[in-house]
Amino acid sequence: MKRTKVNLSNWERTEHYNFFSAFTEPFFGITLTIDCTIALKKAKKKETSFFLYYLYRATKAANMVENFRYRIIDDNVYLYDSINASPTIGRDNNTFGFSNIIYHKNETEFIKNAKEEIEKVKKGTTLFPTPKDSDDFNAVIHFSALPWLNFTSMSHARNYNLPDSCPKISFGKVVSINNKQQMSISIHLHHGLADGYHVSLFAEKFQELMNS
């Protein structure tokens, strides 16, 4: 996983980074709604899991927004050339494990690898699939799906003493409103690395991919 160290002496976000990194809670969160009417029909036609259908598009959209690929490691900022998906995977005993699904631009390859990773996590017992000292541990988006809940806001369990800069994206229950299928999506980002503007870029690209 290739990454490039950001030169803080001439980075346009250095002042923002220094300011928000000093916060006990530097993350901000936004909840919005995505129209998935077209996406549901296409996933059904492809006989593809809707979860994997939108996970691929969400990961692709995140990779298209540079600020979603910044990470803070040992008080340095790095820009990854690409980031992977790390969704929580439920197990039969109602626990879950974190996964690491490698991002591929090719949808078929992404879904193939995702299915293999999901099966491995379901059969496993450990919480983390990737060692915490691995570069890949930071090069992910933390995804979670709550298909039972149509939420309007969300917060995350956080250890403020543990350095963390990975975006967190959660998906809610698909509901029918005015003959359209909609799904809540919660997005949390480190404010030193991104702003609401970058959330809007992600949301726009994600919606376009869901409609295409």
**What residues are labeled active site?**
191
- Residue in this structure with the two tokens 């809540």, named with its chain if needed: 184
**Of 137, 200, 139, which Cα lies nearest the Cα of 3?**
139
**Of 89, 210, 61, which Cα lies nearest the Cα of 145?**
89
**Of 136, 152, 144, 151, which Cα lies nearest the Cα of 169?**
144
3-class SS of residue 196: helix
Beta carbons of 78 and 6 less than 8 angstroms apart: yes
Q: Chain-centre distance of CA 89, in angstroms?
A: 14
Beta carbons of 85 and 140 less than 8 angstroms apart: yes
Task: Tell the burial category of 29 from Cβ atoms under 10 Å away from its Cβ (0-12, 13-18, 19+).
Answer: middle
The span from the CA of 194 to the CA of 13, in Å, is 9
